[in-house]
Chain A
Amino acid sequence: MNVLTVERLTYRYPDVTEPALRDVNLSVGEGELVVVCGLSASGKSTLLRAASGLVPHFHGGEISGRVVTDGLDTREHGPGEIAARCGALFQDPETQVVMGTVRAELAFPLENRGEPAAAVARGVEEAALALGIAHLLDRPTHELSGGELQRVALGAALAGRPALVALDEPTSQLDPVAGDELVWLLRRLNEEWGTSILLAEHRLERCLPAADRVVALDRGTVACDARPREFLEWAAAHSRALQTPGAQLFGRAGLRPPPASVKEARATLRDHGLLPRTGEDASPRDAAPSGDARPVKRGLFRRGAREPRAVELDRAWFEWPEGRAALRGLTLAVSPGERVALMGRNGAGKSTLLRLAAGLAQPTRGRVRAAGRVALLLQAPGDYLVREHVREELPAAFLEAAGLSHVADRHPGDLSGGERQRLALAIVLAGDPAAAVCLDEPTRGMDRGHKGALAAHLRELAATGAAVLVATHDAELAAAFADRVVLLGDGEVVADGAPADILGGGWYFATETARILGGAGGVLEPAPGADLLRRRMTVEVAP
């Protein structure tokens, strides 16, 4: 039996000429975990909103076709009624929590249904235990981290045990640890409770291992609906931007079938004799070629004290008024033209470091020096765009240089995520040349194609002599643009070195290619990884 049936659905938002969804047919069976993917603005969010009844009841617009969610036709039943059958979770954790405490938040949907107090209390306890948030029940929601908030919002979506949960990029605002934990939780709910899950996600390598099916959307239509491995075959032929790094690695090396998980990839490589069998060889860390992936604080004296510095933090502390230290005597020097990825979990001090470098905040102790202006692009590019037209934000010459002349007459709010970010970056770079350019989490909610373009742009910026510092959770982006990775933990530098050293041997802070190859050869990206595999294949057959 299907918990979601979508038949010939076409939907257009109000005041928009192009439909967001065109003739979509889709079904989700009981207990299935279906991943929805596609480039930005391909219709993923709209499809999920149609499943929860927000389209068309909340957003308005024109709709044709039919959506039936667990027996309720969304043309006849609004989101309030469908809420009991379909839980929904969106991207931004902050706007998904409406009550003051976790207990009240979990109770809210049950109370809305008019459940008696005993049933509400039981539902709250069960949801809290299932999601591992029982210890948070009496905590105020405003004190929770992004990962905790997202778990609480998931708990609220699950309270009352709906047959289907629709999740719209729930990990996009989370660090890799919290993101992986959330996907793991979804998998457990799917396997143990039998809850059907419809999950829209950009980072497919994170959720394909758990998926039963993958639905790829392209400009509002279903371009592929297949099992993960078949989807990856399709992506290799039709939409390379949707390929996972593991699938790219296999495709370039001429290996088949494309792997849906690191485990699958390693098993295939082992079967081909391209990876040492368990116990035959040393650990992945030992396989790193340079052998110097040591977690040392090299910082200020890393490259000799006389080298010019674009930005330098010297034993910098930053303490919040309530006493919590965000940075603890951090020392770091970045040279002109250097490309640095700042990594670490949420709260490690990455954003604070960038704010200090750009002069938005002053260190409470220690010193921060810069060789010139430090341009900073904060997490939300939309905050820079306050005028009615793009042409009012920047002079024409700057728009031309940023490749945005064609949108000069549009409202900044109507730009795509990638265009908005390019415009905001062009705004902070306008004026005097910057000694350093800092970006804070620039890839949130960004598809793989846009990430590639951003990495190329960052390399170009560094080639002009500016130091580039990017705070990111995205190991693939770090591998694509950085020549140095600094790993922060609790406001201190815990590792500082070449990307191959830092991202090659980690668990969380590692690229998928590195995890598949066990960090061998310091390879982080699919192309050099495929070269390595081809060399191994040659060695295998040569004798």
Chain B
Amino acid sequence: MIYRRRDTPLHAARASAGLAYCAAPALVALLCDNPIVLGAALLCVVGAGTAAGVGRELRRAGRIAVPLALMIAAINPLVTREGMTVIARLGEVPGLGQLDVTLEATVYGLLLGLRALVLIEAFALYSAAVDPDDVLRLFRRVSYRSALTATLATRMVPVLARDARRLADAQRCRPARPAPRLALVRAVAGGALDRAVDVAATLEVRGYGAARRPPRTRRPWSRHDLGFVAAAAAMMALALAGTLAGAGGVQAYPVLDVEAGPAQFALAAALVAAALAPFADRRGVTR
């Protein structure tokens, strides 16, 4: 997942605004487990990603997130012994005892999978639409070295992926017996260490070792900054209000009770509207 500057309102917003905006749907997913609200949170992320021109990056993340979500959905009914409505009796399983699959555990597994999907896609949106260099600047006054280390570690991922591809190509060129898997893992790890040492040497000669705390700088807030902060605040407030009002929750056990009334739909609609509103203003997005 690599950040690339695009001419969209989200890319034009400052890092703190973008960070808050991407965190908001994740918070909604963590606070609420109602399927309508979770679906709305997913819609917020996908809609924002599409409007920010990073739909392809979100689809790529989806290739990992969807199987993971399905796996969670499949595992939950097998390991959860709660719920009153048995929908399948799998009999005696060695080590697990009598295995009964309940409707409640199955539905809640689906909700947990959906929640994981929202979290992963929200992170993908952040990675693709928020400038990591600006994030580094944001945290440098708090903990500069930790922020830089985190940024560099993230950036090493595509570099190491390229190294691994190169190594795999070289192994395909060997006519004799292929190298054992352990040797390959060792070579990739060794290569990663070499890379890390080279990057560390570069950091040293750029003065990182003697880095000083930067002076405070003031940058005026743009309409996009304000728009995305307001959207993030609105989403978080709606999620909180929905949770307190009981509109965002689900009673999974012992008997499934999923509310799908006007309150849930209103909450979902408000969340999506809040998420997409900042994209309506496209003035001043080019740089």
Contacts and interface: CB of A to CB of B under 8 A. Distances in A.
B287 A138 contact: yes
A92 B159 CA distance: 13
Contact of B206 (A94, A108, A394, A432): A108
B81 interface: no
B170 A383 contact: yes
A142 B158 contact: yes
A114 B213 contact: yes
Give the interface size class of chain B: 35 or more
A427 to B, nearest CB: 6
Interface string B137-158: 1001000000000001001001
Nearest to B178: A386
A112 B205 contact: no
A100 B285 CA distance: 19
Interface string B1-43: 0111100000000000000000000000000000000000000
Given A78-B209, A109-B206, A90 B201 contact: yes
A114 B158 contact: no
Q: Determine which residue in B201, B202, B205 has the highest number of CB atoms from chain A within 10 A of its CB, and name it.
A: B205
A111 B214 contact: yes
B89 interface: no
B203 interface: yes
B207 interface: yes
A98 interface: yes
B173 A375 contact: yes
B214 A90 contact: no
A489 interface: no
A279 interface: no
Q: Determine which residue in B155, B174, B212 has the highest number of CB atoms from chain A within 10 A of its CB, and name it.
A: B174
B282 interface: no
Contact of B133 (A104, A142, A375, A430): A104
Interface residues of A, number: 62
B169 interface: yes
B132 A116 contact: no
Interface in A56-74: 57-58
Interface string A427-441: 110111000000000
A347 interface: no
Contact of B131 (A87, A101, A355): A101
Interface in B173-217: 173-176, 179, 183-184, 186-187, 190, 195, 198-215, 217
A interface SS class: mixed
Contacts of A325: none
Contacts of B287: 138
A536 interface: no
Contact of A360 (B173, B175, B209, B211): B173
Contacts of B212: 112-114
Interface string A446-476: 0000000000000000000000000000000
Contact of B169 (A57, A138, A153, A378): A378
A427 B210 contact: no
A79 B183 CA distance: 35
B interface SS class: helix
A153 B175 CA distance: 39
B166 A112 contact: no
A538 interface: no
B60 to A, nearest CB: 12
Given A83-B210, A100-B131, A114-B215, A92 B198 contact: yes
B167 interface: yes
B207 A84 contact: yes
B5 A101 contact: yes
B21 to A, nearest CB: 19
Interface string B119-142: 000000000000111001100100
Nearest to A392: B183
A58 B186 CA distance: 24
A95 interface: yes
A253 interface: no
Given A79-B204, A109-B206, A117-B215, A142 B2 contact: yes
A8 interface: no
A53 B186 CA distance: 31
A157 B205 contact: yes
B205 A52 contact: yes
Nearest to B133: A104
Nearest to A89: B205
A210 B66 CA distance: 59
B176 A430 contact: yes
Contact of A83 (B131, B137, B206): B206
A54 interface: yes
A351 to B, nearest CB: 11
Contacts of B183: 386-388
A138 B5 contact: yes
Contacts of A394: 176
5 contacts: A53-B204, A83-B205, A90-B198, A116-B217, A430-B175
Given A53-B205, A54-B201, 11 more contacts: A52-B205, A78-B209, A79-B205, A79-B209, A80-B211, A83-B210, A84-B207, A156-B206, A157-B206, A380-B166, A380-B170
The 6 A-B residue pairs with the shortest CB-CB distance, nearest first, are A80-B210, A80-B209, A114-B212, A431-B175, A383-B170, A95-B198
